[in-house]
Amino acid sequence: MPIARANGAGLGYDEYGNGEPIVMVTGTGAPGRMWRTHQVPALTAAGHRVITLDNRGIPPSDPCPEGFTLDDMAADIAGLIEYLDAGPCRVVGYSLGAIAVQELLLARPGLVRQAVLMATSGRSDTLTAAMTAADRDLGDSGGTLPPRYAAYVQALQNLSPHTLNDEERLRDWLAVFELSAVDPSSARGLLGLQLIPDRRHAYRRISRPCLVIGFQDDLVVRPHLSREVARSIPGSVYAEIPGCGHYGYLERPAAVNSAIIDFFTT
């Protein structure tokens, strides 16, 4: 995997396809390869050059044990775009990655043509604060959940009832979660970055076209929080994908990909 030196850090990235570039930014603890199964094939087939980023703190990007901020993440995205001479380009962010993209849109709008913001929010509510505090406590404790227990918890948090009630699909998901369990301490630098003040007023200054996507059954970032972001960004479009939870881009990839591609062709 190539490494970009940008914003004072080494950032892992991958490139696929040719055409107009799209930079894709994942959420807390997730590597850039999460996009490879569904989004990369669809977007390259639609004629795009797809660039996936491993956020700082996620190998092979620098761990940055001294800590970092949401502004650092936004500057990393800007630095990668400039390193690859890809701007102005389209950018897709998911969850924490979408919040970082929102800050990029405020700080460096000239680098962005259009943006898609999935499972995003513009403020921290009580449930977000509680989940974040629990994750940080677990990471700081030095303990780890047994893989089967972690898989069960991850399924309840991130999948929709449609998937949870489909026993064959659920068995597949549980097997994946058990094999790919993330040590909370390894993502410590990213935990807590989604604890943001109310940024909705600031988002009124965003000038680039945005599509905000909410997932109907999302329990981590409930869709009303994403709708708030859409209402805050002038001229933005909101779409809600039914029948999926926080991992909507993996549960309902065809619907998500169609929404992204349709928006980028307008």
Annotated catalytic residues are 95, 218, 246
Which amino acid would we find at residue 223?
A: P
Q: Are 194 and 124 in contact (CB under 8 A)?
A: yes
CB burial readout 160-191, b (16+ within 10 A) else e: bebbeeeeeeeeebbeebbeebbebeebbbbb
DSSP state of 116: E
Q: Are 14 and 24 in contact (CB under 8 A)?
A: no
Q: SS in 3 state form for 138-156?
A: HHHHCCCCCHHHHHHHHHH
Q: What is the rounded CA–CA span in Å between residue 261 and residue 266?
A: 9
The size of the chain, in residues, is 266
HSE, side-chain direction, 13 A CA sphere, residue 155: 23
Q: Which of 266, 254, 252, 248 is nearest to 117 (CA)?
A: 248
Strand partners, 239: 213
64 Ramachandran zone, left/alpha/beta (phi>0; psi -120 to 50): left
